[in-house]
Amino acid sequence: MRLKFIIPAVIGLVVACHASASAQPAAPVRYDIRYAAAGDTTVTVTMAWTPPLSAPGALVMPRAIPMGYGEQRYDAFLRDVQAVSGEARRPAVREEGPRWRLDAGTTGVSYRVDLAALERTVKAASDQSRVRDGYLGALGYSLFAFVDGFESRPARLHIGGPASWPVFSTLAPQAPPAVGAVDVEAPDYYALADSQLVMGPKAEVRRLAAAPIPVYLASYAEGPVDLDRVGRLALTAFQRVADYFGTVPFAHYTLHQELLTPLTPEHEYGMSMEHLGSSTYYLAASAGLTAASGADDDARVLYNFAHHIAHAWVPKRAYGQGYFPFQWELAPVLDSIWFAEGFGQYAAIVAVAAGTPDPAAFREGMLQRRFRANVATAPPFLKRLPLVELSRVASTRYAEDFRTGRLVFSRGGLMAAAIDDRIRRETGGAKSLRDALRFLVDWTGRERRAFTLDELPALVRDATGVDTSAVMDEWLRPLP
């Protein structure tokens, strides 16, 4: 078993040396975001790169977002897309899909993003960026396009707001935030697109004390909220999830929460989303935690935070095929949503349980409420699908037809619980699924690739010494 640790490490070293000897590091792509004045409803984005394109290329805007499991047409909100070559600039020609043609010689682009149109048109709060009085909150993937083929290049980002406005980026969080402008970097397009920016006098940013890494709370509220209480729960959730995974493979973390007056009755709030180094929570204005909230509210918020924080490990840093590299133009068809969502949530349940008086009872209650109840009420035609098939179906309609999303994460969560039980039983409690997930996060960090479904049982066995392939097979089969 120890040999298996050593061999990949040696191969990794050889590959890394080879790469550094033969490949030039790609030049960064510069992004400049400008929100000129309070009250504006658009932001201007400028991109620049060197050397000039040597052949015709394409500017691409995301239509799919990591773990969005659906389509978000952010290209619909770009205005005045211009291609720049040297001193010359001219309108970029729109092509099919979320693309604009870039001629050979192009050195940059500029465009505006209409955030007011975006917030009106996109009905799910967790997929929106927005401008409100004294506030701008934006998701990276709704702002940043990329040049096809540049996805692995690092990005340098300058964010400029109105002169007196605090400006905050989840790529390099600061409390209090910088005023007027901030410069940050991202190692690749994924990290840039999966970041958020927040600015304005009505944003409040806090650094929460005493976690293994700096944890920040960025808040914008149009309703009452007790931020001390939210901050305490955020920190507790982060601490418990970090304890579960044992190591924190990122430098900082931000929870971004907005309490919003609904734009129309058709707009949906109460949604959360996970990102590489942050999580976002978009609630109705009246849904904030206050002094009047009860213990049940605290428990619900604590688990919701833990669930989305846990995704920074699973699947953001341990994932099946299709999660990374990510296909931005069209939602990828994924075989392993049950792992990403089910195992991620199960990890959060066990992490939170560890801080309760009776962890086994807490776990049992959550398995019943979060997973078994959903399986019991799922439509038979979906239960009859093999789990991989259900995952593929949910890949493009997880939330839109939540019967698919709910069942795929519930079956995955119950698989995780069954594997955990098997490992604990066979090792007399010495090992658990936690060891397998920690091993997978390390393995993914070394290998820098997705695991295949065929590899998963062997990886779990390497981590725990227990063969769980029969349990996995049982849960991958159609349900009775």
Q: Report the interface residues with Zn ion, using CB under 5 A.
A: 341
- Which residue lies nearer to Zn ion by CB, 67 or 218? 67
208: helix, coil or strand? Answer: strand
- Cβ neighbours around 109 below 10 Å, total: 22
Angle at 363 between CA 362 and CA 366, to 5 degrees: 85
- Which residue lies nearer to Zn ion by CB, 341 or 420? 341
- Which residue lies nearer to Zn ion by CB, 32 or 341? 341
- Which residue lies nearer to Zn ion by CB, 146 or 303? 303
Minimum distance from CB of 311 to Zn ion (Å)? 6
- Which residue lies nearer to Zn ion by CB, 194 or 341? 341
- Which residue lies nearer to Zn ion by CB, 66 or 200? 66
Q: For CA atoms 352, 355, 360, 362, give the dihedral sign.
A: negative
State the DSSP code for 400.
T
CB contact set of 430 (below 8 Å; sequence gap of 6+): none
- Distance CA(142)–CA(5), nearest Å, equals 40
Minimum distance from CB of 324 to Zn ion (Å)? 16
- Cβ neighbours around 55 below 10 Å, total: 9
Minimum distance from CB of 170 to Zn ion (Å)? 18
Minimum distance from CB of 229 to Zn ion (Å)? 23
- Which residue lies nearer to Zn ion by CB, 195 or 279? 279
Q: For CA atoms 412, 211, 65, 400, give the dihedral sign.
A: positive
Minimum distance from CB of 316 to Zn ion (Å)? 11
Q: Which residue's Cβ has the minimum distance to Zn ion?
A: 341
Minimum distance from CB of 95 to Zn ion (Å)? 34
CB contact set of 469 (below 8 Å; sequence gap of 6+): 457
Phi-psi region of 80 (alpha: psi -120 to 50; beta: other; left: phi over 0): left
Minimum distance from CB of 370 to Zn ion (Å)? 11
Minimum distance from CB of 217 to Zn ion (Å)? 20
**Is the previous residue joined to 166 through a cis bond, with omega within 30 degrees of 0?**
no
Minimum distance from CB of 307 to Zn ion (Å)? 6
- Which residue lies nearer to Zn ion by CB, 160 or 342? 342
- Cβ neighbours around 271 below 10 Å, total: 15
Question: CB under 8 Å, gap of 24 or more: what pairs does 295-300 form?
Answer: 298/229, 298/233
Pairing of strands 29-34, 155-160: parallel
CA of 473: how far to CAs of 377, 387, 412, 440, 453, in Å?
A: 23, 10, 12, 19, 11
- Which residue lies nearer to Zn ion by CB, 127 or 341? 341
State the DSSP code for 215.
E
Question: CB under 8 Å, gap of 24 or more: what pairs does 34-40 form?
Answer: 34/160, 35/131, 35/136, 35/160, 35/161, 35/162, 35/165, 35/199, 36/162, 37/162, 38/133, 38/134, 38/162, 38/165, 38/200, 40/131
For residue 228 the two structure tokens come to 């001390």
- Which residue lies nearer to Zn ion by CB, 119 or 341? 341
Minimum distance from CB of 242 to Zn ion (Å)? 18
